[in-house]
Structure 1
Amino acid sequence: MTHANCPRCGGRLARDNDSGRCAPCQAAERDRLSAPPVVPASFWEHGPVRRALAERHLGRVVRAYRFHPYHGRTALPQTVVAGWLGITQAQLSRVENGPPLVHLDRLTHWAQVLRIPPRFLWFSLPARLTKVAEYDAAPVKEAGPTERPARTDATLAASNQGGGTTDRRQFHALAALAGIAATGSLDLLAAPHNTARGISMEQVRAVSSLVDEFRRTDAAVGANQLCGLAIRVHAQLSDWAAKATYSREVGEALQATLADLAIETAWLTIDANRRPEARAYLNEAITRARYTDDPRMEVRAFAYLALLTREDRPGESLHAVEAALRSSAGWGTPRLATLLHLRAARTYATLNDMSGFHRAMSRAQREFERGASEDDMPFLHFVTAQEVKGIEGLAYLALGQPERAADSFRAITENPSPVLRRNQIYYSVQLAIAAYRQGNHAEAAYTAMNLLPDVGRVNSGRVSLQLAQLRSHLGQPQRQSAATRKFVEAYDQAVHA
């Protein structure tokens, strides 16, 4: 027997609705799949959730969370929740079905990500996290069909206004946005001059958790809001590490963690359209990886270097791919090889080398078909079928074949990823560009206009620049039509709002 009402907003369900949610709530939930939703207090009183909490088994808590009726009749996929937690689907499956987690840092982090109220936990959160969790768990008015949850970028904008806002207060606002409070390292970052002269393994783990938070938040909100903060955090932690003392074991872990932070900072500068700043971070990451003989970190840095240098130095881009393939020989997974061959395919297209493009693209598709692996590095989560199609489309654009590019991008927009929202928006902009290059200005305007609300929520400098260029092209008098005028007006209103 089906429910007559939506479990989220209480509205009546249509007779033919077999999803368990009304259409407005389904739409609202799709927007929130990049991060856990804010659930009502009654969520945690559900029988299976309470039993899992009583058993002190966080894996079972996660499973009960995924199958909660609040999410509708279909459970949340493991891939979605694993993305929130910064692990792979296979790892989450083992956690749900294996022995209880015992590491306090992971228990604390996951409890904060899912916003589990402290009163239900069998372990204590640090004092500052308890305040955050209690605030998150406070009774909230459920968003109805026409309401939207508060936007984090609005909070950030308010913190950047005048009126005596201090640099420290701005830092705390940015840190809250990035979820740094969850890592236990906020005090360390906000006041480095008060930190200890020695570095412990616990502090290294806190920094590693911080990098994971940057990565998770970037996937949800884009790089514009995080780039400056990452640069500042990188500078402070690098300076602290250079002056502090630590054991050999801690030193190796610290070098790997700082290399990870440098790579993430480089990526954020690329996505925020501050590309010239990225090379120094990638060079640093390669150096730190070699200090500790860490080929996995070195390969990641080379993969991003190939992306960075593709347009200005395509020859160097191909050398970076070759270096990464050599370094990963013997241990690299199919998903890693897929990414590297995709990087090469896109670079060959930049060089207008059709045979090189087809050769690299065939290798990428062949590796992708081999499937995912439990040994895949977490950063490879974005290497999906949509990403393969997206790179193919970008290559066709570079090769002057917008019709084939549009087909690739359309395949992505017709099968959207609920998790990689930023990438989905990026390739939707590319579809509008492909339509424009075909001379189909009305389709380009229509596609771009439908993106405007999403672009405001996911801030990427690359996307903003390309959308601005498209507006400039479509706004020229010789291309004026009802559709293009409507887009230009909507774009200008959104930008100046």
Structure 2
Amino acid sequence: MAHGDAQYCARCGARLARDNTTSLCSPCGHTGESNEAPRLSADFWNSDQMRDALASQDMGVVVRVYRRHPAHGRKPLPQSDVARWLNITQGQLSRIESGRNRVRDLDKLIHYARRLHIPAEMLWFDVGGTGFEPPKPSDVLRLPGGPVVPAAATRTEPVLAESLLMTLQQYVTTDNLAGPHSLLPIATQQASFAEQLLTESHGHGHAPLLYVAARFAEFTGWLYQDAGDLHTAMQWSNTALDLSQEAGDAHLSSYIRMRKSNIASDARKPDLTIAFARAALQNPGALPPRLKAVALRQEAHGYALAGNYDTCARALDHAFQYASEAPNDDTDIARYCTPSYIEMEAAHCWVELGKPAKALTTLQQGLADWQSDFRRDLGLCLARLAVAHAGTGQPNEALTVAQHSLAIASETRSHRTKHQLHRASELLTTVGAHEHAHYLRHVLRNTLR
């Protein structure tokens, strides 16, 4: 480091040693974690990087550039340190920096600016400091000569959270009937709206909004998965997991890990499928039975992908046991995981393991008792039945069932159903039913473009 390029400690101002690649001198670097951001020099704030960041009028951009400024050394400041200085969680800071949570609330903008010691004259908002203190609002507003009414500042987060959950349930019903594509734009928008509400919430209203934001992120991930975009599905699921952990909801966190396992199994990654399923089953004694059942079902899928019949069968047996003993609880997020659901999922594993005959009876019985509300999944199960028929050398039955599945898939546009129908055509070729396979490929090309 040349003398003219000398740098100084961000905390005490002492000249840094030539071989020091951080923003702190050795004594300051060993004083332990500080809850206060260092006061940086005017040169730092007047650098081109910080001026451009402040000109963006986006606190997320400002904080990201602040952390990565070369004055701090070769490595950016850890998010955990800056989050501690701002009195927020690392997950919150990550969403702010990524632009998922745009900070618009003036009180929070002022708080972050003061915590980072940003010069007031460089900000795009007024940090106050005039000395004037307005009267504090009370819990009620007394109109002159009129009635007493609730104060305008009364928080509405709990009511809004409940309303959003009701909306989510309507989306789930629509998804079951019509598939993901009609819902993707509005679900993505609602998920972003829920996260934006988090940046403006405080007090007792923050917790229910965290739960709602996590649920919307998980559901949006599911929609992308069924639409065939597994990368985006995993991104939304990661966001959902961050939010659920921030909310301290162990059950929801377990469920989202199971969902990540489900995405991994669609990507045909057995090791990752099993790893996520096992992560979902951490502390199993604290989980409700159906949540354990649906996670074990995912573990079985991983073993089926790996070709491990015995371990897959044991996982399915445990899943069936937990699903059978579960109470009928409408608040259980995995309440759909009934014994008949596990049987249908087991049939999928048998087909994956090359034992389609073992799956035929289960699929046929399950379809006979199918509920009409789950039309999209009816198409998927019919496609799986077509695969089982094709695998057992029954081309006429396979083609008949596949055409019924295709009629539903043309409406729901489920990528998972489409994938199973292509598997059926491949198996028809394998068993020598070339005309059946050719016809099925033809109608797939013309129907599911």
Separation (CA, whole Å) in 2 of partners of 1:494 and 1:394: 24
Q: Which amino acid aligns with 1:200?
A: T
Listed one character per residue, the Cα deviations across residues 8-63 of structure 1 (whole Å, up to 9, x for unaligned) are xxxxxxxxxxxxxxxxxxxxxxxxxxxxxxxxxxxxxxxxxxxxxxxxxxxxxxxx
**What residue number does 1:207 align with?**
164
Instruction: Determine the structure 2 residue equivalent to 1:440.
Output: 394
Aligned to 2:272: 316
The 5 Å alignment of 1:43-442 reads 200-201=156-157, 202-238=159-195, 240-241=196-197, 244-310=199-265, 311-330=267-286, 332-374=287-329, 376-377=331-332, 379-442=333-396
1:209-250 alpha-carbon deviations (Å, 9 max, x no partner): 232222121112111322243233323443x236x4222211
Larger RCO (alpha carbons 8 Å, 6+ apart): 1
Kindly report the root-mean-square deviation, in angstroms, between the aligned alpha carbons of the 2 structures: 3.1
Taking the aligned partners of 2:441 and 2:254, their CA distance within structure 1 comes to 43
CA distance in 2, matches of 1:277, 1:249: 32
Query: Is the contact made by 1:429 and 1:448 (CA closer than 8 Å) also made in structure 2?
Result: yes
Aligned to 2:413: 459
Partner of 1:102: none
Deviations 1:89-129 (A, max 9, x none): xxxxxxxxxxxxxxxxxxxxxxxxxxxxxxxxxxxxxxxxx
Give the total of aligned pairs.
299
> Could you tell me which residue of structure 2 aligns to residue 169 of structure 1?
none
2-structure distance, mates of 1:424, 1:350: 23
Distance 2:357 2:339 in 1: 20
- Report the residue type matching 2:237 in the other structure: L
Structure 1 residues 359 and 487: alpha-carbon distance in aligned structure 2, compared to 1, 3 A threshold: closer
Of the two, which has the highest radius of gyration?
2
Q: Is the 8 A contact 1:221 1:457 kept in 2?
A: yes
Identity of aligned residues (%): 17
Distance 1:493 1:263 in 2: 32
- Going from structure 1 to structure 2, the CA distance change for 1:366 and 1:289 (only over 3 Å counts) comes to same
How does the TM-score come out when normalised to structure 1?
0.54
Q: CA-to-partner distance for each residue in 1:142-193, whole Å, 9 max, x for gaps?
A: xxxxxxxxxxxxxxxxxxxxxxxxxxxxxxxxxxxxxxxxxxxxxxxxxx99
Asked if the contact 2:290–2:334 (Cα under 8 Å) also holds between the matched residues in 1, the reply is yes
Please say if residues 413 and 448 of structure 2, whose CA atoms lie closer than 8 Å, have aligned partners that are also in contact.
Answer: no
Q: Which moved more, 1:487-496 or 1:351-360?
A: 487-496
Partner AA of 1:261 in structure 2: F
Q: Deviations over 1:247-277 (max 9, x none)?
A: 2211111111101111101111111111111
1:334 to 1:487, Cα distance in 2 relative to 1, 3 A: same
| C-alpha contact (below 8 Å) 1:412/1:424 kept by paired residues | no
Is the contact made by 2:296 and 2:319 (CA closer than 8 Å) also made in structure 1? yes
- Conserved 8 A contact 1:200-1:246: no
Q: Aligned pair in 2 of structure 1 residues 316, 196: CA closer, same or farther (>3 Å)?
A: same
Partner Cα distance (1:476, 1:317) in 2? 28
Separation in 1, partners of 2:238, 2:225: 14
**Per-residue deviation at 1:333?**
2.3
Q: Is this contact kept in 2: 1:299–1:328, CA < 8 A?
A: no
Distance 1:488 1:292, change over 3 A: closer
Spell out, residue by residue over 1:345-403, the C-alpha distance to the aligned partner (whole angstroms, 9 max, x if none). 111111111221121111111112214333651x3243233321211111111211111
CA contact (8 A) 1:446 1:487 kept: no
Q: Is the deviation greater in 355-364 or in 204-213? A: 204-213
Deviation at 1:429, TM superposition (A): 0.5
Name stretches of at least 5 consecutive residues in structure 1 with no aligned partner.
Answer: 1-191
Shift of 1:339: 1.1
